[in-house]
Amino acid sequence: MNHFFKVKSLEEVMALTTQFSPVASETISVSQAYSRVLAQDLVAPKDLPGFRRATMDGYAVVASSTFGASESSPAWLDVVGTIRMGDIPDVDLEPGKAAKISTGGMLPQGADSVVMVEHTELIDDTSVEIYKSVAPLQHVIDVSEDFAKDQTVLPRGVFMRPQEEGLVAGLGVTQIKTYKIPRVGIISTGDEIIPIDEDPAPGKIRDINSYTLSGFIREAHAVPVRYGIVKDDITALKTAVEKAVQQTDMVLISGGSSVGTRDYTVDVLSSLPDTRILVHGMSISPGKPTILARAGNKPIWGLPGQVVSAMVVLKIVVIPFLNTLKGLGQQDRTIRIPAKLTRNVSSAQGRRDFVRVLLEKKNNQLMAKPVLGKSGLIRTMIHADGLLEIGDHVEGLEKDAMVEIILL
Amino acid sequence: MNHFFKVKSLEEVMALTTQFSPVASETISVSQAYSRVLAQDLVAPKDLPGFRRATMDGYAVVASSTFGASESSPAWLDVVGTIRMGDIPDVDLEPGKAAKISTGGMLPQGADSVVMVEHTELIDDTSVEIYKSVAPLQHVIDVSEDFAKDQTVLPRGVFMRPQEEGLVAGLGVTQIKTYKIPRVGIISTGDEIIPIDEDPAPGKIRDINSYTLSGFIREAHAVPVRYGIVKDDITALKTAVEKAVQQTDMVLISGGSSVGTRDYTVDVLSSLPDTRILVHGMSISPGKPTILARAGNKPIWGLPGQVVSAMVVLKIVVIPFLNTLKGLGQQDRTIRIPAKLTRNVSSAQGRRDFVRVLLEKKNNQLMAKPVLGKSGLIRTMIHADGLLEIGDHVEGLEKDAMVEIILL
């Protein structure tokens, strides 16, 4: 019986992300690009924009015609026409001339800037007073000022936010190569676990983990695939894990990773072909009895059965590995928000503690209030807005300390 | 010609969210709950958990039998059996007795606590040494300690994170009432706008906004519905807006909201039945030429045609209104992260400025570096990680000032 794990530190486990490479790529339509990860360098096929455009409503001018203009001494310009949106201007502009233009309109030949309509007064059909001078290229976007032809505009591995989707569209690229959306298999184990639509007899408990883990996987822009509940039976668990490894890119097994007689997960993982156990125990709390194995290029996690521990391990440890599979690389993408601690918090040395906290704004200062209650209670996660990380070599944190909170 | 808007402040516009009520509700399966908003108070139908459970592997005991136990003076207990996971224990425990138990197991009648296996040594089949005392209810979760029957566990209006989804599952609630996922209609207008798969002639520009706006709507867990590009034609725009208002819960019209001759949006909105214009111009930059109308209970937005302005208005102004439609209420849900400004930034008084910034960690301090480049360039949004908000009554901010950044 292997009572005491040889535990790994959080840093040692995180360093293992480099052992895994991204999933395959596929070509998708730009309208599906949001939340995907680029699997190619994107090069501008043309200049953006392809012509000199107005960024304000007003008058296209030669800047030098406006030099010295002011409220008390306006410049007078001849209005030679109006630029229609989307058209190539049919006028050429010389000094002393102006053409009416709207935001987004193309500047006529000769014009180098736009005077805002607010700084002008139309005197009659053919003349306008200018009250403020403009510099060359003021209130215009020049040819290729956004991106020049052949420039790499987005590198491989970029997460596609709305603005990246828009940029790709603006360049006229209708199809892009992105990493596939990883599929994550979820298996619940334990003789005590029953489906949520059954009424639990004493000793039984509903399968909460399949639902919380699915939620976190969806939040991370991946697809959860549920394999249901497997009883504490080594053959049944092996069959389920083999199927999940075949059909998905990462597998989560919740329950069965505690020390004790029912530690089937390690046995099953040890018996799989081409599979190595990388982690058996981590020095974090909650989450110590975490297992990580590698089956080919696929991570298989044995997560604690306790719901809160499983959630913390997923958020802190598993999601960074998922990011690697998604093609995002090893960069730490966790958002941390500074806050002031409302009370003393004790911690054990030699392990990383994650304390659930509630965030409250008080006199314009964000306060982190530890959520009381036993660590196994799901309500501590319901009441929490984030997790406070306490370092391995810290015995505790004092009231009013400035801390960083990982949002939940 | 209405050259100068009667602009509204950001606060005045935000106060208008109260004019809109949430979309209708529907009943969904708990497995679809992530990212939805609860449209009912959720009451616990039973105690959670329904029995006293172990939170550690070890021995179920009567706590008093362990009082005074230590490494040098262990307590000796009789082992009367092993609790099988998921079963009702068939032993009753008296003082001086212990039963082997795993995490999640049901405590036998009489037992009130669990000694961790690490603090025990099995001497023979029937006796165990205990090296550390436990208090009553230590390492157990008692009946109803998470949630008690008939308690309201989640109030209406809650955003369903993974943990809320798990809680609902744990209570055995398989169906919940949530607000529907809002559908947001997106219309691009302008004679200069062409579909992204066409090659723009000089003066024309591809329809970037339909893609960026769709991305932000998806990011906000709603469904974008694209109505394509409408030329600057009042009848065509009216037809498109009427159709979108009928089919969706909120409508975004990008372009056509600048001052000037082509201001069709206001004319169209004014001509719609049961529609009132609430905002025509906002004192924010970028984003001044923003229009908000109300058609029945549906918001219709006229967004600036310029891509960066449209994005900022969407992020800062439109998404809070969408949150109201989703049933989340009027609470400010924007995440702001403190950072240190790397250089002076000037700003105009009397308006709210949103400056694009890059975030960089330097000596453990997050630095906000303003992104240079004209405001109309999409690359300023590509290079930016967030927006720095500068107040109405501030002329600028100095280098090294602590500021709060809205993440992009």
**pLDDT 10s digits, B290-309:** 999 999 999 999 998 889 99
Residue A257 has pLDDT above 70, yes or no: no
Q: Can you spell out the DSSP letters for A50-113?
A: SS-EESSSEEEE-GGGGTT--SSSPEEEEEEEEPPTTSPP--B--TTEEEEE-TTPBPPBT--E
Across the strands, what pairs with A100?
Answer: A59, A82
pLDDT tens digit sequence for B370-400: 998 887 899 999 999 999 999 988 889 999 9
Predicted pLDDT at B3: 43
Would an 8 Å CB–CB cutoff place A135 in contact with chain B? no
Whether residue B128 contacts residue B120, with contact meaning beta carbons closer than 8 Å, is answered with: yes
Would an 8 Å CB–CB cutoff place B81 in contact with chain A? no
Predicted pLDDT at B329: 84
Q: How far is CA A227 from CA A105, A207, A211, A254, A314, in A?
A: 57, 12, 12, 11, 18
Predicted pLDDT at B103: 85
Q: In the 8-state DSSP scheme, what is residue A19?
A: G
Whether residue A205 contacts residue A246, with contact meaning beta carbons closer than 8 Å, is answered with: no
CB-CB neighbors (< 8 A) of B170 in chain A: 196, 205-206, 208, 307, 378
CATH classification of B53-141, choosing from 2.20.25.90, 3.40.50.360, 2.40.40.20, 2.170.190.11? Answer: 2.170.190.11
Would an 8 Å CB–CB cutoff place B332 in contact with chain A? no
Q: What is the mean pLDDT of residues B264-271?
A: 89
Mean pLDDT (chain B, rounded): 93
Q: What percent of chain B has pLDDT over 70?
A: 97
Please provide the CATH number assigned to the domain covering A35-46+148-179. 3.90.105.10
Q: What percent of chain B has pLDDT over 90?
A: 81
The token pair that represents A236 in the structure block: 């049944």
Residue B4 has pLDDT above 90, yes or no: no
A contact test, residue of B85, B154, B198 with most A CBs within 10 A: B85
The token pair that represents A369 in the structure block: 């209030």
pLDDT tens digit sequence for A304-331: 888 999 999 999 999 999 999 999 987 8
Predicted pLDDT at A253: 95
A&B contacts, CB < 8 Å: 297
Predicted pLDDT at B305: 86
Confirm whether B25-48+146-179 and B53-141 share one CATH topology.
no
CB-CB neighbors (< 8 A) of A405 in chain B: none
CATH superfamily, region B336-407: MoeA, C-terminal, domain IV (2.40.340.10)
Residue B344 CB: number of other CB atoms within 10 A?
A: 12
Of A118, A141, A160, the CB nearest to B374: A141
Window B:40-79, CB contacts with A under 8 Å: 48-51, 53, 55, 57
| Closest among B304, B246, B314 to B275, alpha carbons compared | B246
Would an 8 Å CB–CB cutoff place A203 in contact with chain B? yes
Place of tokens 């975030």: B359
Predicted pLDDT at B84: 87
A contact test, residue of B378, B380, B407 with most A CBs within 10 A: B378
Q: Distance (Å) from the C-alpha of residue B272 to the closest C-alpha of chain A?
A: 25
CB-CB neighbors (< 8 A) of B82 in chain A: 261
CB-CB neighbors (< 8 A) of B210 in chain A: 169
Predicted pLDDT at B2: 47
In CATH terms, is domain A10-23+181-326 a member of 3.20.20.80? no
Residue B335 corresponds to which amino acid? I
Would an 8 Å CB–CB cutoff place A207 in contact with chain B? yes
Of B172, B213, B260, the CB nearest to A206: B172
**Would you kindly state where each structural domain of chain A is located, as residue ranges?**
10-23+181-326, 35-46+148-179, 53-141, 336-407
pLDDT tens digit sequence for B161-214: 999 999 999 999 999 999 999 999 999 998 889 999 999 998 898 999 999 999
Looking at the structure, give the CATH architecture of the domain made up of residues B25-48+146-179: Alpha-Beta Complex (3.90)
Q: Can you spell out the DSSP letters for A183-223?
A: EEEEEEE-TTEE-TTSPPPTT-EE--HHHHHHHHHHHTT-E
Q: Distance (Å) from the C-alpha of residue A76 to the closest C-alpha of chain B?
A: 20
Cα-flanking dihedrals φ and ψ of residue B71, to 5°? -55, -45
Would an 8 Å CB–CB cutoff place B218 in contact with chain A? yes
pLDDT tens digit sequence for A135-177: 999 999 999 999 999 999 999 999 999 999 999 999 999 999 9
Place of tokens 């008390």: A72
How far apart CA B104 and CA B85 sit, in angstroms, is 7
Would an 8 Å CB–CB cutoff place B150 in contact with chain A? no
Predicted pLDDT at B210: 97
Q: Distance (Å) from the C-alpha of residue B20 to the closest C-alpha of chain A?
A: 26
Window A:159-188, CB contacts with B under 8 Å: 160-172, 174
Residue A40 burial by Cβ neighbours in a 10 Å radius (0-12, 13-18, 19+): middle
The token pair that represents A194 in the structure block: 């029953």
Q: What is the mean pLDDT of residues B332-338?
A: 88
Would an 8 Å CB–CB cutoff place B407 in contact with chain A? yes
First and final C-alpha spacing in chain A: 36
pLDDT tens digit sequence for A36-94: 999 999 999 999 999 999 988 899 999 999 999 999 999 999 999 999 888 899 999 99
How far apart CA B119 and CA B134 sit, in angstroms, is 10
Predicted pLDDT at B141: 94
Would an 8 Å CB–CB cutoff place A86 in contact with chain B? yes
Q: What is the mean pLDDT of residues B44-63?
A: 93
* Confidence grade of residue A382 (pLDDT, cut at 50, 70, 90): very high
Q: What percent of chain A has pLDDT over 90?
A: 82
Residue A223 CB: number of other CB atoms within 10 A?
A: 14
Q: Distance (Å) from the C-alpha of residue B222 to the closest C-alpha of chain A?
A: 13
ipTM: 0.92
pLDDT tens digit sequence for A327-355: 998 788 888 999 999 999 998 888 999 99
Flag if B31 and A211 touch (Cβ within 8 Å): yes
Flag if A196 and B174 touch (Cβ within 8 Å): yes
Whether residue B257 contacts residue B290, with contact meaning beta carbons closer than 8 Å, is answered with: yes
